[in-house]
Amino acid sequence: MNRRETLTAMLALGAGACTGLPAPKDEQAPTGTNFSAAVPYIPTRPEIVDAMLDLGAVGAKDVVYDLGCGDGRIVIAAAKRFGASGLGVDIQPDVIAMAESQAHWEGVTNRVKFALHDLFDLDLRPATVVMLYLSVELNLRLRPKLLAELHPGSRIVSNRFDMADVWRPTRSIVVADTPIHLWRVGAGV
């Protein structure tokens, strides 16, 4: 069985297949702030993942959180490239299952974890770098939480979407016609 067939089979079995544990019978996506309709799952292209990690200056001591992680490619890449640890959160069980499978396949389950969780209820304090690929509206709604919970010097990197005129990025770059924005907590807030 090739890699794609393995991932597809594990995904068909559900999230429990990825961890070796049975999936809870009542497992459902958190309902506090459902943003799945507003933000469809769109995988981040590899060159954008690399640019986001570079712009965020991710290193081995970092704890990278990816809010709306999809298949987990950003935290997996952070672990593989830099030895960082990470947490990916999403409210869609199928993409969490895919992320767990991919982390297992890439051999980084000791460095990354994934959780079915509402990002507005998540404790961000352990994070040193937060990755986003949401929307301007969701970024703005997250801004107070980011500022309240992240430590000074923490980095926030967003694929494509900024925070309008409310919070100007510390730096922005364009890679493959895609803007990527960086904010540093405590700088220009």
Taking the C-alpha atoms of residue 171 and residue 89, their distance in angstroms, rounded to an integer, is 25
- 132-187 pLDDT, tens digit per residue, is 999 999 999 999 999 999 999 999 999 999 999 899 999 999 999 999 999 999 86
Contacts of 180 (CB under 8 A, 6+ apart): 48, 51, 52, 55, 157, 158, 159, 160, 172, 173, 174
Give the pLDDT of residue 188. 60
Mean pLDDT of 12-25: 33
pLDDT tens for each residue of 20-62 = 323 333 333 344 444 444 577 888 999 999 999 999 999 999 9
What is the pTM (predicted TM-score) of this model?
A: 0.80
Structural domains of the chain, with CATH: 3-21+32-184 (3.40.50.150)
pLDDT digits (tens, 9 = 90+) for 112-132: 999 999 989 999 999 999 999
Predicted local confidence at residue 6, as pLDDT: 40
Helix (H) or strand (E) holding 181: strand 178-184
> Are the CB atoms for 104 and 43 separated by under 8 Å?
no
